[in-house]
A = this chain, B = another copy of it.
């Protein structure tokens, strides 16, 4: 007869402990396949427990396929493989130390100082209190109407874009949206990406099995002449502030791009408007989408850059004629942004906080950019470098006078505690970006604390 010491069950219920013991005996082979188990009544008497306890244990083992019942004959062991080792309790998370740099020009951090956190927190509390349980219901696949409406109005006011709320699709980050775009437009198409450019876009397309062609970027962005010959069908560009070169595509080229798109079946331009909000000289550059009379432009932008990296809200503006296909193919996807964030962001936009935030940040970033440039020009680097592309965006270029190769400088910097990022790191094919040009992400820099690092950097430039 099966004998278990139920005193050892700790906090477990009796039936649960019995279930575990019998299961262990089956898995370890002590109870063999086909073996008949004692009747419930007999086992209960033997172990001095209630019949119901044995009944529950047997029922669970039957549900999981360890035992089978034969009417009026009792329970038998199923044919089950034998296991050796048991499960161990999980280990804890180990946290990795981040390296402290003397000077970090790559600047993964920063850019969140100006975020009106108390406003955001207040709006979140408001949404929680006012919307209550409504927040638990599933939201439409393309985002809540209030947020799409607010984005549509923001785009009209600030970017001159005329888009109905139904053209807006909200999603958890631009990378996620690129994934959706491949699923919408097709992975059999050829995607043209800027070189040098935003590497993640290319990576997402490639991970989706789409072929990418690289389009060289000059001082005015991608040259439209190359489009036809490249064979690309979907063009991914950032005409308003190219990353990382900072190039602005002039109107004539934009028109040529649009003509190219209209000149072939199923051609589209994905306009990545990332970073365009922070233009420090003159007004913002109007989006390509605003002159797209042929409906070939899919506009993409994100709030992760303008508000906070931890807030994953980005959006698409789809041409009207794609809406039905989108709904049909991708409308089954649940919205990836939680309802609370959507409602909070909608209010943040509606009540004008976002535009005020942008205006404030424009002033803040301009000031910081000036201070960083002043720090460079007040260091031994002065006269050995030129600032480029500083009229917009959260990075600028710094052309260095040095005979050393970029990778040599990067290694030297690494050893000396100066973290560098060169334009050439963003090139897809060798030679598409100039050498000796740093890409300086300045929002996280402390202008007052750069002196030592800049002196170290200046010394690194000599062979």
Contact = CB atoms under 8 A, between A and B. Distances in A.
A60 interface: yes
Contacts of A176: 172, 176, 336
A251 B80 contact: yes
A91 B286 CA distance: 20
Contact of A293 (B85, B251, B336): B85
B63 A164 contact: no
B251 A78 contact: yes
A136 B133 CA distance: 26
A1 interface: no
Interface in A39-93: 56, 59-60, 63-66, 78-81, 83-85, 87-93
A234 to B, nearest CB: 16
B162 A87 contact: yes
Interface string A291-305: 101000000000010
A203 interface: yes
Contacts of A203: 332
Interface string A320-336: 00000000011011111
Contacts of A93: 145, 148-149, 164-166
A220 interface: yes
A115 B91 CA distance: 30
A265 B220 CA distance: 49
Given A60-B282, A85-B293, A136-B112, A65 B220 contact: yes
Contacts of A251: 64-66, 78, 80
Copies in the complex: 2
A293 B83 contact: yes
A45 B341 CA distance: 51
Contacts of A145: 93, 95
Identify the interface centre among A65, A128, A137, A281: most chain B CB within 10 Å of its CB. A65
A250 B64 contact: yes
Given A80-B251, A87-B161, A135-B310, 4 more contacts: A84-B293, A90-B162, A90-B163, A125-B128
Interface of A: 16, 19, 27, 56, 59-60, 63-66, 78-81, 83-85, 87-95, 108-109, 112, 115, 117, 121, 124-125, 128-129, 132-133, 135-139, 145, 148-149, 152-153, 155-156, 160-166, 172-173, 175-176, 179, 183, 187, 200, 203, 207-209, 220, 248-255, 259, 281-283, 285-286, 290-291, 293, 304, 307-312, 329-330, 332-341, 391
8 contacts: A64-B286, A65-B253, A87-B290, A121-B128, A136-B311, A172-B176, A179-B179, A312-B337
